[in-house]
Amino acid sequence: MTVTVLSEVAAGAEDLSVWPASTQRLPHGGLAVGGVSLAEVADRFETPAYVLDEGEVRGRCRTYQDAFPAADVLYAAKAFLSRAMVRWVREEGLGLDVCSAGELELAVTAGFPPERIVLHGNAKSPRDLEAALRLGVGRIVIDGPSEIARIAAAVGPEGHQKVMVRVVPGVSAGGHDKIRTGTDDQKFGLSLTDGGAQHAISRILGQPQLELTGLHCHIGSQITEVKPYLVALRRMVGLMARIRDTHGVVLSELDMGGGHGIAYRPGEPALDLTALARRLRAELHRGCAAARLTIPRLLIEPGRAVVGPAGVAVYRVLAVKHTGEKVFVAVDGGMSDNPRPALYGVRYAPRLIGRASTAGCRTATVVGRHCEAGDVLAADVELPGDIHPGDLLAVPVAGAYQLSMASGYNLVGRPAVVAVHQGSARLLVRRETLDDFRSRDIGD
């Protein structure tokens, strides 16, 4: 496809800073991502559709590799996972962290080396552990005391499994209280302050078939400042020094998790990755030198920051309703494909695509088609005053925690995922259909 880029004067001054780097303006109000018109994607694959820019994903993987050349970068599969995503991450040299047997088996069957996979989870099922041991997962992160005996028994007296311990460092950080995981008042990990982590470590070291390689912590998500990571790292290094002094064991790995914040709308803050990498390295070297501790290998687990800005959701307007002073623009998706606004109050910046409008903007609320008053995709956003049914809306920064959290509410069906790259589009995940629902419903 030939892309004709309009001048800034002709196209207006819309801020595309949160869109994929490949985004280009087209004539008549269109946008292209990865060299493909989003309106053409909507016509070819129908709506709602999730468009994933392969080049943006790969570029962000490389950015992490460049920023952390001496660390292991693990993509957090919970943000979004598909066979194509597995391949992109593998080819760019990243590892993978997974939270279930489903994520693990999809990754391995798609060709990902199991030894480069870390299994997480606050409540791992027997199936999760069976799959991890059968497939030879690289690390299992122990999240609670009951897992120690369970894993040891599953491994058996002649077996061997590398494990880490998830430590709660007592650091509060994150964009919403539901995604703050570094303090003792949530379900993840073992507390540093009450001694739970230290007790678990002692027990693990008493299990000869379990090899404790290091510590893990994850303090939250959508974090845009470096300081909380530095505080957490100091506490983790302090614990590693105490483990050496108490048990004579020097741990070789320190996993600082992810949660790196991104901008969802122009002007919002994002975590400075270069500053994070530089200051983490400096703090790790300083802390280990002070404690006379061998410097462990650093691991990090970005998910949202890799795939979030690479995704664009495309919807078609079904209805426009004027209720008093409010304007509601209803689209053919909603909370079944993106529950994040309802869960966390997340705000997006949707944009009209596919046609040019000369009408002035007015404040509108973009809502979904589901039977919930809270089915709101974007509240109080500026859209052209002449928006009408049949128009297309595109929502940037839609690659993470949308389809991975999608549901079957109202039996609407989850959208298709379309990859775009160098002017071509291909289907990665087909649309969920009524036949899919019927095939699972086997009762009468």
227-247 and 273-290 are packed helices; what angle lies between their axes, rounded to 10 degrees? 30
Residue 322 burial by CB count (10 A; 0-12/13-18/19+): exposed, middle or buried? exposed
Q: How far apart are the first and last CA of the chain?
A: 50
The type of residue at 83 is R
Q: Is 99 a catalytic residue?
A: no
158 DSSP 8-state letter: T
**Length of the chain measured in residues:** 444
d(CA 58, CA 271) in angstroms, rounded, equals: 19
Q: Which residues contact residue 131 at a Cβ distance below 8 angstroms, ignoring those fewer than 6 apart?
A: 101, 104, 105, 137
d(CA 72, CA 65) in angstroms, rounded, equals: 8
Q: Which residues contact residue 201 at a Cβ distance below 8 angstroms, ignoring those fewer than 6 apart?
A: 165, 212, 243, 247
Radius of gyration of the chain (CA): 23
The dihedral through the CA atoms of 272, 274, 277, 282 has a sign that is negative
d(CA 314, CA 393) in angstroms, rounded, equals: 6
Three-class SS of residue 393?
strand
* Among 62, 10, 76, CA closest to 399: 76
Hunting for tokens 């077996």 — which residue is that? 159
Q: Provide the token pair at 395.
A: 């929502």
Q: Which residues participate in catalysis according to the annotation?
A: 371
